[in-house]
Amino acid sequence: MGSMVDIASSFIEGAPPGELADVVADIRALTSDGPDIIPSLEPAFRKYNESQLATVKLPGSSQEVIVSEFNKLDDGRYFDVESSTSFEFDHVTQKASAVQSHPLESQNAELIKSLLKSLSNHAKEHYPNSSYGVYPIENDSAIAIALVANRYSPNNFWNGRWRAIYQIPVSASSTTITGTIKVDVHYYEDGNVALNTKKPITLSVPSLTASAVISKIAVAEREYQEELNRAFSRLSEDAFKSLRRQLPITRQKVEWEKVGGYRLGQDIAGGRAR
């Protein structure tokens, strides 16, 4: 049972964006002859949800909030600064419950709320479907900013996720922001292609104000998006073309309009069909 749990846990932790439920269904099908191992996979679900910045709608709310390591409370609950609430989160079903009031208690509360407002404007301007959060961390000596944008299109056989996490120390007069942007895309029509990429970010801001911080973040994210676009262009123009022969071994161009009449061994390879 132990090895089975380890294998299934690796499946959970490697689930592509928007496809966790499909992975769970496959695990249930593959282990249908034995006891249900899904409850034993709770640590893997928790690790996946926190690292992937899982989003959930709170009961009675239309806005999705983030589940992450930064807004986890000691009792296993999670909190949301914008709605001033905390909630229980079932990592297996990805459902929230038991919402309670949870006012922000931080010596940096004013800065956090200001960052949250600027981040909200940034997210609404640049991401069609996103969730975000700003949280005090490391005993109030730093602030974490998290943003996730999901785009799922299973009918077209692709799903994608953009994650950005930044940490800001609040003790220095001039501040260095560190973080990482991660992009995961899965395309699976007539094949199985995955893009998993990340970009370390280091930014300097002259003053610790919400407008200065979010402005720097916006520039970094735009530059990385442009970098990805250039990489895709090079991939299409150079790498993909080098994967196929310009001419077949016979040095004769294939007449594609007649391809239905070719006999593979004799006509294309130039030899006798076997």
Q: Per-domain residue ranges for the chain?
A: 2-101, 109-239, 244-274
pLDDT tens-digit series, residues 41-64: 999 999 999 999 999 999 988 889
Beta bridge partners of 54: 67
Question: Stretch 168-178: mean pLDDT, rounded?
Answer: 84
| Spatial CA neighbour of 152 closest among 127, 122, 186 | 186
Please give the full DSSP string across 25-46, using - where no structure is assigned.
HHHHHHTTTS---GGGGHHHHH
Least confident of 46-60, 109-123, 252-266: 252-266
pTM of the model: 0.84
Q: Which fold has domain 109-239?
A: Aspartate Aminotransferase, domain 1 (3.90.1150)
| Spatial CA neighbour of 263 closest among 271, 97, 169, 106 | 271
Length of the chain: 274
Residue whose pair of structure tokens reads 């930044």 in the numeric block: 166
The verdict on domain 2-101 having CATH code 3.40.50.970 is no
Instruction: Give the CA radius of gyration of the chain.
Output: 24
| Spatial CA neighbour of 126 closest among 18, 233, 217 | 217
pLDDT tens-digit series, residues 118-127: 999 999 999 9
pLDDT bin (cut points 50, 70, 90) of residue 15 is very high
